[in-house]
Amino acid sequence: MKRLVIFDLDGTLLNTITDLGNSVNYALEQMGYPTHSMTSFRFMVGNGVRKLIQRAQVDADEETVDKLLEYFREHYDQHDCDQTEPYKGIPELLRELVDRGINVAVASNKYQSAVEKIIRHYFPDIPFVAVCGQTEGRPTKPDPSIIFSILNACPTPKTDVLMVGDSAVDMETAHRAGVECVGVTWGFRPVSELRKAYADHIASLPSDILNRLNDPF
């Protein structure tokens, strides 16, 4: 039986793509660059905001990326909850896990202040044992340091930990940390990416995770 379930945020708990995309496009517009469709952002997210900006404007030098990041955060910090919403079944999944006595945590590559704000806004009644985003001095996923930070906050044998995410980055993070992983198909990346990244399990609905918890993994 798993005692700790660690969730990715964007594309796993919440559909954030429109608010992220709008904020990137705002930043690009401020500097006269062409914008992108919302669909294209599905393959740009997953490695943190700086990498998102670099993928959106591939020829930008570091100084330009820094400026684009300023514009992005200026917009996103005011509009991060405009069109973002939990995926269907996610609030019920989190509540059921907590009711069963299973700890829940968040491991995101989004910057820490945004992760904390969004979690408070959408899941105010869920007692996450750890809410971890990108912070200075800690590498982003797929480096497993974020998982180890969560395990420091909530000591749990690795055999009792499950990582849930929607991308190859999440699967690689779990493998490098030595914990089992579930790839979810409702997020931003195709199931083929999850299988190629050797997801231990595939979930098409949040309820699939609960069903799996009833059986040995």
CATH number, domain of 42, equals 1.10.150.240
54: domain range? 17-79
| pTM of this structure | 0.94
DSSP 29-83: HHTT-----HHHHTTT-SS-HHHHHHHHSTT--HHHHHHHHHHHHHHHHHHTTSS
Q: Quick one: 56 and 111 in the same domain?
A: no
Place of tokens 């020829």: 59
pLDDT in tens, the chain (217 residues): 899 999 999 999 999 999 999 999 999 999 999 999 999 999 999 888 999 999 999 999 999 999 999 999 999 999 999 999 999 999 999 999 999 999 999 999 999 999 999 999 999 999 999 999 999 999 999 999 999 999 999 999 999 999 999 999 999 999 999 999 999 999 999 999 999 999 999 999 999 998 877 665 4
Q: Quick one: 165 and 62 in the same domain?
A: no
Number of domains the chain contains: 2
Q: Quick one: 64 and 107 in the same domain?
A: no
Q: Quick one: 141 and 52 in the same domain?
A: no
Number of Cβ within a 10 Å radius of residue 85: 13
CATH number, domain of 191, equals 3.40.50.1000
Among 79, 94, 113, the domain-final residue is: 79
Q: Is 205 exposed, middle or buried (0-12, 13-18, 19+ CB in 10 A)?
A: middle
Given a contact cutoff of 8 angstroms between Cβ atoms, the answer to whether 146 and 153 are in contact is no
